[in-house]
Amino acid sequence: MTPRLHLAVADWALSFDDRENVPEAVFEMQCMICHAVLGVGDTKGESSQLWALKHTGRHPNHRVFKLATATFWRVDPMPSNPYADVTPTP
């Protein structure tokens, strides 16, 4: 039988993923009338806003949109956590 270690408590920290090349947020805009979608756009939401305005310009009765925003988070072990020295899988 292989010995096993059961960790009852391990401290972890949840935070925004602020590593280089990870965007703060990404945005996706959808017309709620025809369900046209502008896929994930820039990280400021500007292209989504412009797309909605242009879409309404082409379809004047399409005035309701849904903006989906995704942010990126990560969980890291605290220094007291036994996994603090384990390299995460990419």
Q: pLDDT-based confidence at 66, cuts 50/70/90?
A: very high
Cα–Cα dist 26/44, whole Å? 7
Condensed to tens digits (0 to 9), the pLDDT of residues 19-49 reads: 999 998 999 999 999 999 998 876 777 889 9
Q: How far is CA 13 from CA 61, 75, 89, in A?
A: 47, 6, 17
φ, ψ at 11 (rounded to 5°): -85, 130
Condensed to tens digits (0 to 9), the pLDDT of residues 2-24 reads: 666 665 678 989 999 999 999 98
Give the DSSP letter of residue 15. E
Strands (DSSP E) found in 1-90: 12-16, 25-31, 37-38, 65-71, 73-77
